[in-house]
Amino acid sequence: MHVHVYHADGEAKFWLEPSLELAQNIGLSAKELREAEGLARSHEQERRDAWRKHFPG
């Protein structure tokens, strides 16, 4: 289970399970990466629920 956060300068991928963790950073500065993590953390449970609904089983 993961989420991608896109930015004009690149993107980041975060694992959602077992806990939110950076999986990949492509082109983001440390500041942009912190902002991306904040976005990934926002509504974290809703993202997990949506993932499980989209990928049942």
Quick one: pLDDT at residue 31?
A: 96
Total of domains in the chain? 1
In this prediction, residues 46-57 reach a mean pLDDT of 91
Full domain range(s) for residue 47: 2-54
> Residue 35 above 90 pLDDT?
yes
The pTM of the full predicted model, rounded to 2 decimals, is 0.86
Report the pLDDT value the prediction gives residue 43, as an integer from 0 to 100. Answer: 87
What is the structure's pLDDT at 34? 95
Q: For 7-12, what is the mean pLDDT?
A: 94
- CA separation for the pair 3, 39 (Å, rounded): 10
From the number of C-beta atoms within 10 Å of its C-beta (0-12, 13-18, 19+), residue 2 rates as middle
